[in-house]
Amino acid sequence: MRPGRSSVDQDFRCEILVVGAGVTGSLVAEHLAAEGHDVCVIDRQRPGFGSTAASTAMLLWEIDRSLNDLTAMYGFDRAASIYRRSFGAVSGLAELVNTRGLACGMRHKRSLYLAAGNMGARELKAEHDLRMRAGLPGEYLDHLTLLEEFGLYREAALHSIGSADADPLLLCQALLAAAAMQGVRIFDASAENYDNSGQAVIVELDNGHIIEAKQVVLATGYVIPDFVSSSLHKISSSWAIATPPQPAGGLWRDGALIWEASENYSYARTTTDNRILMGGEDDDQVIEPEARDRLMPAKSEALLHRLNGLWSHAEPVAEFVWSGAFGTTTDGLPLIGRVPGHPRIHAAYGYGGNGITYSYLASRIIAASIAGNYQPWFDDFAIDRDAPKATP
């Protein structure tokens, strides 16, 4: 069920205004409503048709930065805690989908983290040992085991439980429908200005009306207002392809979520109708939609070449090609929490490759913060956190 949206034809007040109706805003709105808050949501476009629709929805708990790299930045204890939080976020999201009966095609999946680039067998084994020390699940697969069990020709891999995949647009719409059932009002509107100088936040809309809210949550994807800044944040673009449905037996074992242990990694998963989704070829120099579109043919060919190198059994055809922009950070961790200098405004940005996993984490951190239940580990994701140490 798709919840309806109303136009804003008069000024009004609400307790919490969520700006953005993608999967992050939907998770935030649903959770805050379940906690008993009066919540409104606004978006300038159809819910879920921004960054959410471009997501390949690989719900990984493994972070863009390896545990080894994150340990070099922040120390083992902090890095291990962050990884465990991410693992718990995927579990929490799966439980939410099950409890609320959200029809989004979610499937529990294992993941394969493949040796690539400077991360060879020795480095991957060291990463595995560090994960074991942190109490994280997984097994190390050497070259022969990986080839025999999965038919993948790489030097080594880490094979782990605890991930998932889903249809991101269906997840977003199901969350909004659940939120609407709990009284959340959803509006077709665009925020133009935020005035936080009084006892509430005055949000000016593009049609001249205003919404007065006690608290505001910004969940606007990679589009960030000027008053939110971080030296860690940058915008990048990514491309993805979908093959035609593959023949029976034409997919790798278990449809595991696959990604590479390299900085500019590619990633792949299967779908319920036996397609292969392949993504990557990230570029932080190309942001505008028109420029991304011009690169579609070249990026599609590059992704098909990568797919052939990963899984030569696939039909090398890109039936669908798309791209999207997303925010990322230097340390691979999101920017979540109160906006510095604006105590009534909260934000969630910079998800990198862990989009929906971090969206769930953001919904819980922000709700706890609004309720006054601050936890010290929230600082790991603070918008104004210090830049990390350089990795070796």
Instruction: List pLDDT tens digits, range 135-179.
Output: 999 999 999 999 999 999 999 999 999 999 999 999 999 999 999
Name the CATH superfamily for 6-54+169-229+332-380. Answer: FAD/NAD(P)-binding domain (3.50.50.60)
Domains of the chain by residue range: 6-54+169-229+332-380, 108-163+232-329
Lowest mean pLDDT among 45-54, 67-76, 265-274: 45-54
pLDDT above 70 for 2: no
CA 77, distance to chain mean position in Å, is 24
Share of the chain above pLDDT 90, in %: 72
Residue 300 has pLDDT above 90, yes or no: yes
Per CATH, which fold does 108-163+232-329 belong to? Answer: D-Amino Acid Oxidase; Chain A, domain 2 (3.30.9)
pLDDT tens-digit profile of 25-44?
Answer: 999 999 999 999 999 999 98
The span from the CA of 51 to the CA of 292, in Å, is 14
Is the pLDDT assigned to residue 90 strictly greater than 80? yes
pLDDT at 256: 96
Q: What is the mean pLDDT of residues 178-199?
A: 92
- Alpha-helical runs (H) found in the chain: 23-34, 51-54, 67-74, 76-100, 121-133, 143-150, 168-181, 289-294, 296-310, 355-370
Percent of the chain having pLDDT more than 70? 98
Return the minimum-mean-pLDDT range out of 108-112, 225-229, 350-354: 350-354
Rounded to whole angstroms, the Cα distance separating 374 from 78 reads 17
pLDDT score recorded for residue 159:
98
The SS3 of residue 33 is: helix
Q: Residues 184-205: what's their mean pLDDT? A: 92
* Mean pLDDT lowest among 127-131, 234-238, 306-310: 234-238
- pLDDT for 223 equals 80
* Residue 198: predicted pLDDT: 81
Residue 69 has pLDDT above 60, yes or no: yes
Q: Would you say residue 51 has pLDDT above 80?
A: no
Contact 79, 67 (CB under 8 A): yes
Helices of type H across 197-324: 289-294, 296-310
Query: What value does the mean pLDDT take over residues 340-364?
Result: 89
Residue 278 has pLDDT above 70, yes or no: yes
Question: What pTM, to 2 d.p., does this model score?
Answer: 0.93
* pLDDT reported for residue 350: 77
Instruction: Say yes or no to pLDDT of 1 above 70.
Output: no
Coil/strand/helix, residue 232 = coil
